[in-house]
Structure 1
Amino acid sequence: MTNSIRPDRRATDSDEANTHVTTQRNASDIIIEELHRAACEGRTLTVWDLSLPTGLTMPEVFAAVRSLELDKTLSVDDDQSDPFGATVRLMASSSASDTDIRAA
């Protein structure tokens, strides 16, 4: 029988992992809300534009956008010369198979 206590782990390691997942989900929700608001107002947003209105840091924005792109919730129209200048838009639920989805 092995001992479940490991000296190389802290008691909070699993809590930190769960917090990261929760934070990522909250960031994704914030990004979706902002993209929806922008679409209703007829505005387009770039990855760079999402930081200010959401209050998220650029790494948080980039991670959330990438995650949402992989989930096919949004699409990113790449700008090869400026990754943060890529236009981001929500995808309609009926166009989940949109072929213009590209990695950021």
Structure 2
Amino acid sequence: MESRLKVLRVFKALHKTRIDVFKGDIRALTAARQKINEEFRKNKEETSEEKINKMIKMASDVEIVLRKTVIQGVHVEDNKIVLQPREDLLLENVPYCDNPRKT
């Protein structure tokens, strides 16, 4: 029963991340939804606790990669793409310093 809850949590997390990452891109949203559902459906008969835990870990890692590394791009001209990073991906740009200040 505990594995089932973990599977449902990671399934829901993947879909929430998909919606956030691909916001406004119907094609990408649909493709991601189909792929997530297909992978979970393909393995729904799995009974090995070890394999289930490995797949949960893989799904969790995929969710993290999507959330932390994927940035949307929009074609605005033939050879021009405008990137649209999400707020949570933007970091303070601090220059490198060999001698950090003591605070």
TM-score, normalized by length of structure 1? Answer: 0.30
If asked which structure has higher relative contact order (CA below 8 Å, sep 6+), I would say: 2
- Structure exhibiting the larger radius of gyration computed from Cα positions: 2
More helix by share: 2
